[in-house]
Structures are given as structure tokens and as C-alpha cells.
Amino acid sequence: MDGLWKIGSIKDILGRHGFTFSKSLGQNFLVNPAVCPRMADSCGVDAQSGVIEVGPGLGVLTCELARRARKVVAIELDERLLPVLDETLDEFGNVRVINGDVLKLDLRQIIADEFGGMDVCLCANLPYYITSQVIMRLLEERLPLRSITVMVQKEAAQRLCAPMGSRDCGAVTAAVHYYSEPEILFKVSKGSFMPAPKVDSAVIQLHVRQQTPDLGCDERQFFKVVRAAFAGRRKTAINSVSMSLGIEKERVAAAFAAAGIAPTSRAEQLQLQQYAALTAALYGGK
Ligand code: SAM
């Protein structure tokens, strides 16, 4: 549908369908005409490949994806938007809308059933209340996605894409770097949305690694140690790991020494390989 992003068209559609925004579903719809084409271009989808969208809303980004992709699968939780999407996506024969919760649906099965072997990427303006959960689910399940291009709040973008060892790092940053190569593509001001959120946003892209780095230790234990280190942000990593995992401080300090990590280090200062060495020192290598 042409001109869908225009405030007038959006208000008209919302009015005709009696739609009201749900804050709890993170419904901030894009009304800046420059953003969706830019997102759709940068996600890398083309006439041979498929794309999954989470939360199509009124379908502004969906239309742009449908113009470029062989197939689009859009997952929307709010069933009130289904008749709206029927209208706005009417002209496209390559879009399938699935009514469901992205955190609960079997995404691997959907990819197999809907895309049958095509290259697939994900592109979405994510509902902010589940940003990290969605990203972690997509990565941890090792879904066959080439890349993940998503709009998130600016602070989340900075955390997710922070270089390891920098101040903005969190446990989620370590996971993102393990499974992918992240980058911030561009900033989007809060005025680009209706209703306008309190903070600006950014579009980030995660290039999913086909092969994750060899840690030399058990992956689950590795993430347990990373989460433990970040649990006490104001503490040294030794204290935080010791308290969170319930291991005596002397044993943790010995593991830090064995891994060659300075005892005064804080969680955000460590690299993935240092966490791996620490995990191996605490629990044994592979
Ligand atoms: N893509 C539209 C746009 O850019 O204007 C809407 C984006 S809005 C930030 C987030 C969308 O995600 C809403 O349509 C909301 O209903 C939907 N949503 C919220 N929680 C969801 C969930 N758990 N699973 C799927 N969709 C969800």
C-alpha cells in the first residue's frame, strides 16, 4: 500500500479499525518514511531469499520487505492487527502473517516449513519489552538465519554491540559476540515513531557466525560464569563470581590466576577467551 507511512494514512487506518495502541505490547509504530526502506535495504534480503519479521504492526516495514524478498513471514501477537494487515498487505502475494508470540512459536519449524531451504534473515522493529529475550532466543537456538537486523532502543543497541572489554558490556554482550558479529547501522530519533517513545533508537545488525568460536570449555558453564561475573556490577569479578556461584573466594582467585586474569578485574574488562580460560580453570577444559 503506497503512502502507508504517512501520518494521515496511518490515522485513517487506525480510525477505521478502531485500533488503540497497547503500551504493554511495545506498540510504537514507525511514521518516518526514510526508515523502513533503509532497514529493508540493509538487511540484505533479495528476490532469492526469505525474511522473517517480528511484530509487523500496520505493515510499514513488511511492505518494504515484500518488495525485495522472495517470501516474508511476519509474526504478530496482537490479533487486532490482523484485519489491518489484510488491508495494508493486500497487494502482496509473498507475505504470510502468523498470529502468535515470537517467544513461544517453534521458529525452526516455521523456517523449515515456510522457506524450504532458502537463505533467510530476520528484520524487525522489535517490541522493546522483549528485545534481549528475542535476540537471545534467535541466537541460542542457532536458528538458520544469515543475519538479524533489528531496531532497538539506543541504550540496548550500545550494550548489545559494545566491544568486549568496554564499559557498556553486559552478559548479553558476551553472548552476542559469541554467536555473531554485531554492528550499529544507524540511529533513529524518537520522533520517527507514533506514539513517540521516551528515548531514541538504533538499527543494529548481527552477522550470525556459521561456526561459534572454540572455547575449550563447556558452553553452558561458560555462560554461567559470564552471568555470575556480571551479576555484581560494582564488585570485582572475583567477588561477583564467588558470591553468585557460591564458590570460596580463594578457589576463585586461584582460577583467575591460572587463567592469567588480574585479580582486580571487573566483569566488563574481560574478553571472551579470558572467560573461557576462567571457566576451564574452575570446571576443567573440554
Ligand atoms: N513493525 C511495526 C513498525 O515498525 O511500525 C511495529 C513495531 S512495534 C515496535 C512492535 C510490534 O510487535 C507491535 O506490532 C506489537 O503488537 C508486536 N508484538 C509485541 N509483542 C510481540 C510478541 N511477543 N510476538 C510477536 N509480536 C509482538
What ipTM describes this predicted complex? 0.99
Q: The domain spanning residue 276 has which CATH number?
A: 1.10.8.100
Which grid cell sits at 207? 552477522
State the residue range of the domain holding 249.
219-283
Distance CA 30, CA 223 (A): 35
Average pLDDT over residues 231-238: 90
- 245 within some domain: yes
* Domain stop point among 208, 233, 267: 208
Cβ 192 under 6 angstroms from ligand 1? no
Distance 65 CA to ligand 1 centre (A): 16
Distance 196 CA to ligand 1 centre (A): 15
Cβ 152 under 6 angstroms from ligand 1? no
Residues paired with residue 54 on neighbouring β-strands, in sequence order = 75
Same domain, 69 and 94: yes
Same domain, 144 and 231: no
Cβ 127 under 6 angstroms from ligand 1? yes
- 87 within some domain: yes
- 234 within some domain: yes
Cβ 105 under 6 angstroms from ligand 1? no
Which residue CA neighbors atom 21 of ligand 1 most closely?
A: 77
Task: Summarize pLDDT for 9-58 with one digit per residue, the tens.
Answer: 888 999 999 999 999 999 999 999 999 999 999 999 999 999 999 999 99
- 1 within some domain: no
Cβ 59 under 6 angstroms from ligand 1? no
Distance 90 CA to ligand 1 centre (A): 19
Which of left, alpha, beta for 248 (phi over 0: left; psi -120 to 50: alpha)?
Answer: beta
Which grid cell sits at 222? 561458560
pLDDT, residue 145, reads: 98
Secondary structure of the chain in HEC code, one letter for each residue: CCCCCCHHHHHHHHHHCCCCCCHHHCCCEECCCCHHHHHHHHCCCCCCCEEEEECCCCCHHHHHHHHHCCEEEEEECCHHHHHHHHHHCCCCCCEEEEECCCCCCCHHHHHHHHHCCCCEEEEEECCHHHHHHHHHHHHHCCCCCCEEEEEEEHHHHHHHHCCCCCCCCCHHHHHHHHHEEEEEEEEECHHHEECCCCCCEEEEEEEECCCCCCCCCCHHHHHHHHHHHHHCCCCCHHHHHHHHHCCCHHHHHHHHHHCCCCCCCCHHHCCHHHHHHHHHHHHCCC
Contacts 24+ apart (CB under 8 A), 258-263: 261/237, 263/236, 263/238
Task: Summarize pLDDT for 249-262 with one digit per residue, the tens.
Answer: 999 999 999 999 99
Ligand-binding annotation for 76, yes or no, is yes
pLDDT, residue 232, reads: 86
Look-up of cell digits 525474511:
51
Task: Summarize pLDDT for 147-169 with one digit per residue, the tens.
Answer: 999 999 999 999 999 999 999 99
Q: Name the nearest CA neighbour of 247 among 215, 279, 285.
A: 279
Same domain, 175 and 261: no
pLDDT, residue 275, reads: 98
Ligand 1 atom closest to Cα of 128?
9
63, 65, 76, 79, best to mutate for ligand 1 pocket (most atoms within 8 Å of CB)? 76
Cβ 26 under 6 angstroms from ligand 1? yes
Average pLDDT over residues 79-89: 97
More confident site: 101 or 285? 101
pLDDT, residue 233, reads: 75
- What's the mean per-residue pLDDT of the chain? 96
Share of the chain above pLDDT 70, in %: 98
Distance 125 CA to ligand 1 centre (A): 7
Same domain, 234 and 152: no
Ligand-binding annotation for 58, yes or no, is no
pLDDT of residue 219 exceeding 70: yes
Average pLDDT over residues 199-215: 97
How many folded domains does the chain comprise? 2
pLDDT, residue 25, reads: 97
Same domain, 42 and 183: yes
Same domain, 126 and 20: yes
User: Which one-letter amino acid corresponds to residue 165?
Assistant: G
Question: Predicted confidence band at 1 (pLDDT cuts at 50, 70, 90)?
Answer: low
Cβ 221 under 6 angstroms from ligand 1? no
Note the pTM of the prediction, 2 decimals.
Answer: 0.95
Question: Predicted confidence band at 234 (pLDDT cuts at 50, 70, 90)?
Answer: confident
